[in-house]
Structure 1
Amino acid sequence: MISIVKDLAAEALFVSSIQPSDSPTNKTVEQAVTAMILLHGSDGCAAEVATEFGDHPYCAVRRMHWVHEELTGVVAPAPVLT
């Protein structure tokens, strides 16, 4: 389940206007992800990502790599309580 959530968050952050040079906080990333999901929906975010990978593959790869680095601290599994 975490993988699905992280994939959706990655697509949403990818289509946001946030740039690596913005050095966004976790809160900013969370807000951007939420805003893009509300604006485009999950299918819309995926479609925008696909378009960018088709039109600008080298830039898209670099951006997606950055997106996954940013999400490491934001989308993480909750600790298991035993």
Structure 2
Amino acid sequence: MRSHLLTARAAALFASDLPASSRPSAPAVNEAIAEAVRRHGGTRGCVAHLATTYGDYPEFAAARMRWARAVVETTYGSRPVDRNQELVAA
């Protein structure tokens, strides 16, 4: 479950407006993920956005996804899950 949540958050961060060159704070990451989830209608919508935007050229998405995974793992990876703060993977 935890890895699914990290993956969903990374997909949402990928679909956010934050630049991949940024080093956002935890509150900025939370807000960017929440906004992307709202804008795209859930985490599945974020994945669909990723597929639509980069489906033909996935090599262009690799650097941004590495950044998103690293930011999410740094922000959420080392602390225990707070069930009240989880984003629902819809």
TM-score by length of 2: 0.76
Alignment of 1:67-78 (within 5 A): 67-76=68-77, 77-78=79-80
CA RMSD of aligned residues (A): 1.7
Structure with max Cα Rg: 1
Task: Give 2:25's aligned residue.
Answer: 25
Tell me how far 1:57 sits from its aligned partner.
Answer: 1.9
List runs of 5+ in structure 1 lacking aligned partners. Answer: none
Q: Distance in 1 between matches of 2:53 and 2:62?
A: 9
Alignment of 1:1-82 (within 5 A): 1-40=1-40, 41-76=42-77, 77-78=79-80
Q: Distance in 2 between matches of 1:23 and 1:62?
A: 14
Secondary structure of 2:4's counterpart equals helix
8 A Cα contact 1:30 1:74, kept in partner? no
8 A Cα contact 1:53 1:61, kept in partner? no
Q: Distance in 1 between matches of 2:76 and 2:2?
A: 8
Equivalent residues, number: 79
List runs of 5+ in structure 2 lacking aligned partners. Answer: 82-90
1:18-43 C-alpha deviation (Å, 9 max, x unpaired)? 01333211210111011111221122
TM-score by length of 1: 0.82
Larger helix percent: 1
Q: Distance in 2 between matches of 1:11 and 1:47?
A: 10
